[in-house]
Amino acid sequence: MDVKRTIDINCDLGEGMSNDADLMAFISSCNIACGGHFGTRETIRSTVQLAKLHGVKVGAHPSYPDKENFGRKSMSISSSELAASLHGQISDFLSVCKEEGVNPNHIKLHGALYNDCSTNESLAEVIRGVYEGLNLNIPMYAPPNSALSSKIENTISEAFIDRRYNENGTLVSRAQPNALIEDSTQAWNQLVRMYVDQEVVSSNGEVIPMSAETFCLHGDANNARDIAEFIGTKLDSSNISLDRNG
C-alpha cells in the first residue's frame, strides 16, 4: 500500500482580494499581509479567523512600507526605518494571533523585499536583526541558497508554483511578459517537477536544482482559484495530502 505523502502549499492572503475563502480549501498555510503593502489589524484578524476555520496555518507577510506599489518595487530606505516598519508589521500580526488563540506558524517576506533579500547580504542582515529582536521561534519561508537563508538558520525553503525562474534560481521579474504561469496544467507540471525531482526548468529552458519544503501559489492572480482547484484535484489523484493543522 502506498504511503500518503504530504505537501505544504502556501498562499499570500489578506491582500484585499475577493477569493480568500475560496482558496482556503486548497492550501495548507497562508501568508497574511500585515500593513506594509496592504492590510490593517482588522484585515489581519479576519484572515486569521478564516484560516482557523479551515485548519490552515498562518504566517506574517511583511513588506517594504509601500502601499502605493503593493510592495513590488525596491525601496531606497534606511536600515533603521525598514527595521522599525517590519517590527511593527510583524508585532501587529503576532498580537492578533494571540488575541485569536492561533499559533503563528512562520514569516514570509513579500514582493520586492523577498526578492531583494535573495541576493542582498546587508538587507538580509536587517531582516535577521528584526527576526532576532522579536525573539521568534517560528521559521521564515525563504528562497533556497539565498542571502536570507544564510543569515537566518531557522528557515523553510520555498519555491513558486506560478512563477518562472531565471537560470540562477531567482524569479523572473514581473516586468517581463513571461514572469507568470497562468495555465493550470503548466503550474501543476512545475509543482510536480519541483516536489518530486527537486528541479525546475528555467525561462531559457535550462534545468536547475530547486529543492523546497513549501510551495507558493499567489492569491492575487486572476485565475488563482482555478489553478488551486486544478492542483487540488491532481494532489488527490496522486495520493498527496495538504499538510494542515489538525
Structural domain containing residue 25: 5-242
- Residue 38 in 3-state DSSP? coil
Domain CATH for 190: 3.20.20.370
User: How many domains does the chain contain in total?
Assistant: 1
Q: What is the pLDDT along the chain (246 residues), one digit of tens a residue?
A: 355 699 999 999 999 999 999 999 999 999 999 999 999 999 999 999 999 999 999 999 999 999 999 999 999 999 999 999 999 999 999 999 999 999 999 999 999 999 999 999 999 999 999 999 999 899 999 999 999 999 999 999 999 999 999 999 999 998 899 999 999 999 999 999 999 999 999 999 999 999 999 999 998 888 899 999 999 999 999 999 999 975
